DNA sequence: TATTGTTATACTCTATAACTATA
DNA sequence: TATAGTTATAGAGTATAACAATA
């Protein structure tokens, strides 16, 4: 007969889980790379799949279009993105990564992958697979 | 003989892990509660352990003290925190939660715990313990 | 003179509302 | 008239540098 109920255990484990996530967030995920803000990175990630209109950018990021204007302004100023007005519909704006923007994004992606490797590094190969199996069950993917 | 090396497997698992973390961040951790910003929550969490000076707040959060002034200003304006000048050293400022601030923080804490429970909910009890054991090994706690 | 905190200033990020250009 | 995007404006969050009060 257990000392406490499954509900009580769940609460304790949930609390501990949140602490672990906080630690990992501090240790790995807030690690800034490439002098790019969270927002700038989100826009670059969207553009990495190919050029997009401002509407597509804002839909993808869930932000107001007036906010996106400023972010893209700064990316353009830094030579990371380019705007063009397509002749098909001159109301829209096409935004695309420049070569430099692509390079910076790839650099960030590699850095991020290293953080992921760093997280798994303390585990044995079998444990890593175990962890991923549990994550799949949680996210249902 | 494996089809690919352990290094290649690590990279693949790391990439998948980061995707799972992104999903969980979107699904659970960015869930806003109680109309408190990230920064405001961080300050409340510091104050929840007891009153603190501005220096203690800024050290705890790793922010510039000029930034903390504004955040605490807004918390005070909203009736969530109070400033006092202690007679022992009148250069310092003591910041403490008000009853309302405490209440709001407790409310947030309970919401957050529910998110943690929600994350573990799809797992069997034994799997939950397994997951936590792996997290302990990763964070070394 | 050293320490604690605020003020001044500036930049990013965000949103709502008004506006321009195009369809 | 409807749509795509920018501009105007405002507030939060951040930092550096200058400043005031206290030790």
User: What are A69-90's pLDDT values in tens digits?
Assistant: 999 999 999 999 999 999 999 9
Residue A94 has pLDDT above 90, yes or no: yes
Query: Which pLDDT value is given to residue B30?
Result: 77
- What is the share, in percent, of chain A residues with pLDDT greater than 90? 82
Size of interface A-B (CB pairs under 8 A): 119
Cα–Cα distance between A114 and A11 in angstroms, integer?
Answer: 32
Query: Which pLDDT value is given to residue A2?
Result: 59
Mean pLDDT value across chain B: 93
Residue A112 has pLDDT above 80, yes or no: yes
Q: How far is CA B70 from CA A21, A27, B63, in A?
A: 28, 27, 12
Query: Which pLDDT value is given to residue A80?
Result: 98
Nucleotide nearest to B66 (CA to C1'): C6
Q: Mutation test of the interface with chain A: which of B120, B126, B129, choosing the one with the most A Cβ atoms within 10 A?
A: B120
- Confidence band, pLDDT 50/70/90 cuts, at residue B3: low
How does pLDDT run across B40-58, given as a tens digit for each residue?
999 999 999 999 999 999 9
How does pLDDT run across B72-97, given as a tens digit for each residue?
999 999 999 999 999 999 999 999 99
Q: Where in chain A does DSSP place strands (E)?
A: 52-53, 81-84, 94-97
Nearest alpha carbon to residue B84 among B47, B58, B49, B59: B47
Contacts of residue B128 in chain A, CB cutoff 8 Å? Answer: 9-10, 13
> What is the spatial distance, in angstroms and rounded to an integer, between the CA atom of B75 and the C1' atom of C12?
22
Q: Is A17–B123 a contact, with Cβ atoms under 8 angstroms apart?
A: no
Tell me which residue has tokens 């790379």.
Answer: A33
Q: What are the two backbone dihedrals, phi and then psi, of residue B31, each rounded to the nearest 5 degrees?
A: -60, 110
Query: Which pLDDT value is given to residue A25?
Result: 84
Element (H, E) at B84: strand B81-84
CA dihedral A127→A130→A136→A138, nearest 10 degrees, is: -90
Contacts of residue B119 in chain A, CB cutoff 8 Å? Answer: 14, 17, 138
Residue A1 has pLDDT above 70, yes or no: no
What is the b/e burial string over A21-53, where b = at least 16 CB atoms within 10 angstroms of the residue's CB? beebeeebbeeeebebeebbbbbbebbeeeebe
């Amino acid at each position: 007969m257990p000392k406490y109920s499954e509900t009580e255990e769940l609460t304790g484990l949930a609390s501990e889980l949140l602490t672990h996530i906080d630690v990992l967030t501090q240790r790995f995920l807030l690690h800034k790379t490439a002098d790019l803000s969270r927002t700038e990175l989100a826009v670059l990630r969207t553009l990495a799949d190919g050029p997009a209109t401002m509407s597509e950018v804002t839909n993808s990021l869930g932000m107001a279009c007036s906010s996106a204007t400023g972010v893209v302004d700064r990316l353009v100023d830094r030579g990371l993105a380019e705007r063009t007005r397509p002749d098909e519909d001159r109301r829209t704006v096409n935004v695309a990564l420049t070569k430099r923007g692509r390079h910076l994004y790839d650099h960030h992606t590699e850095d991020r992958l290293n953080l992921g490797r760093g997280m798994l590094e303390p585990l044995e190969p079998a444990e890593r697979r175990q962890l991923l199996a549990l994550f799949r069950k949680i996210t249902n993917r």
